Chain A
């Protein structure tokens, strides 16, 4: 198999991989919670594409009975599976957005670094630990795990 075959023969997989990595990178690297969810959506969508392109049969038509025994059909099962996965994805997005609304209401921000800062401030307002091990740990300057 030559190089051009590797690229053009598997072009659907390449698209899926690019989309998947873009999504995962956005999810990990962005500090804004909404952007994180957009990245997560891209990531999930790439998997939908993986399944849908997997079910395509060359020269196959939509899997609706034509009455002609010669007809080649595409495989409908991956498509149906992905219908379920899309529903799961929508539920996840809805729940995530609802959580973001609540986070914004109680913290006043949806930026991850600011949320972390508030988190640390909440931790710092607590009385100093009397447990010797934890006191030693905080003296060593380690992050409060």
Chain B
């Protein structure tokens, strides 16, 4: 029994949350739905830890769905990179769900609770599926499962602010255009190779060499995934979606959805496309690198002028995606390590920060920065959590954000691109400005009268502090993240046919 379970772990990782979701909707009792979804998220986390444990030494698990061998059948392929990402997603879910109970009760009408948790479980399924699968078309299917449930989740914020509906609609239009671009790209590659299995694709693309169709496929996939991960000029859906979605949803999405898209980009960029080093290197250095740098500055500057805490954090997310793309565009082992590490570190930091924003909304019903005056004295735990997360966002030593930015700068120096390293530091200074604005309001302003302030329950404070505590822990003792990220980067480089610097 146990052996059968263990050997089918890759399938169960997806099947358990997928099957749990309709049960949530059918029972339709708010309290049960929450408890059920939380239990499932714990199980999913346990499974992804088990998977990570199996591949931590660099081995690869190949699971044949339904017993059909790849490349005909759908293969789930787990190496250290996606095991690491799986662990991030399910770990964040296991922290956000306990937090969600009170936050959701305060922000969403009770009649929608069961469906809310159903959508959250489906979203989790989709994100895990995108990460675990070794089949390129399967990526699209799971991407759409997660996206469709995300649109619904964003729209549940309508009870607090009706603009959540238009935000969800705009996200839907842009997300669907992105996904369709992705499918067009897949179609073009399929025309050349006649396969959809990722490993098979990589081999056939390398064998066939460069062609115009392949380049078109590559470009379509880059733009499609770019829309999903909020790459700089394609980020327009993100600020509204993140600021009007319920707090628990924002905390979950901000730390998982864009990260999974980054993972998909890494996978396609390095594992699958290896056709022509010069073309890919040119795309990375003349398209991705400038866009990443612009994102780091433009989004940070816009963040400084935001009136709403969640909106400010949303713009900061776009800037942080810039750092991840920057690491990728270096095309070096250190750069990739920095990207993968920042993926993890930023997931913890931003998740914790959005949870703090959710605590403010729970307590005073608003996350407008002006309304937070003097709350540092009234809500010491939440405010201190915000400061901790803010320091991580800036990249102050002893926080996880420092480690990944340090690696990013090392990668830049190794290439002799010192202006890029200076720009990383300068953009971090912008983060100081927007974080300080909030800290100043929290601690240095006079407290105002808040008549109907609710105390924040421990069930919300504890997950937030665990998340931020981990971000500090991995800033002090980064051995685990550095070695995992570095090995994942090696796996990507080893599997790719690109010439590495």
Contacts and interface: CB of A to CB of B under 8 A. Distances in A.
B162 A106 contact: yes
Contacts of B144: 88, 91-92
A72 interface: no
Contacts of A85: 140, 183
A133 B441 CA distance: 13
Nearest to B368: A126
Contact of A126 (B140, B155, B166, B307): B307
B42 interface: no
Given A99-B151, A102-B155, A106-B165, A134 B305 contact: yes
A129 B308 CA distance: 11
Given A54-B190, A88-B144, A126-B368, A133 B177 contact: no
B151 A95 contact: yes
A44 B369 contact: no
Contacts of B190: 54, 78
A129 B370 contact: yes
Interface residues of B, number: 37
A81 B183 CA distance: 10
A102 B158 contact: yes
B302 interface: yes
B148 A95 contact: yes
Contacts of A51: 187
Nearest to B373: A130
A8 interface: no
Contacts of A102: 155, 158, 165
A125 interface: no
Contact of A96 (B172, B183, B368): B172
B152 interface: yes
A37 B172 CA distance: 10
B492 to A, nearest CB: 27
Given A54-B191, A84-B141, A99 B180 contact: no
Contacts of B305: 133-134, 137, 145
B165 A99 contact: yes
Nearest to A81: B137
Chain B at the A interface: mostly helix, strand, loop or mixed? Answer: helix
Nearest to A84: B141
B488 to A, nearest CB: 29
Contact of B187 (A40, A47, A84, A88): A47
B307 A103 contact: no
B168 A50 contact: no
B90 to A, nearest CB: 24
A80 to B, nearest CB: 10
B148 A91 contact: yes
A107 B307 CA distance: 23
Contacts of A92: 144, 148, 172, 176
Interface in A82-129: 84-85, 88, 91-92, 95-96, 99-100, 102-103, 106-107, 115, 119, 122, 126-127, 129
A47 B158 contact: no
B163 A119 contact: yes
B166 A131 contact: no
Contacts of A133: 304-305, 437
Interface in B111-148: 137, 140-141, 144, 148
A137 B301 CA distance: 11
A44 B180 contact: yes
B165 A103 contact: yes
B169 A99 contact: yes
B180 A115 contact: no
B173 interface: yes
A100 B162 CA distance: 12
A47 B184 contact: yes
A19 to B, nearest CB: 12
Interface of B: 137, 140-141, 144, 148, 151-152, 155, 158, 162-163, 165-166, 168-169, 172-173, 176-177, 179-180, 183-184, 187, 190-191, 196, 302, 304-307, 368-370, 437, 441
14 contacts: A40-B176, A43-B180, A50-B187, A81-B196, A88-B144, A95-B152, A99-B155, A99-B165, A99-B169, A100-B169, A107-B162, A115-B166, A127-B370, A129-B370
Q: Which 5 A-B pairs have the closest CB atoms?
A: A106-B162, A88-B144, A137-B305, A103-B165, A99-B169
Given A47-B183, A88-B141, A92-B148, 7 more contacts: A44-B176, A88-B179, A95-B151, A99-B151, A99-B168, A106-B162, A133-B304
Interface of A: 24, 27, 33, 36-37, 40, 43-44, 47, 50-51, 54, 78, 81, 84-85, 88, 91-92, 95-96, 99-100, 102-103, 106-107, 115, 119, 122, 126-127, 129-131, 133-134, 137, 144-145
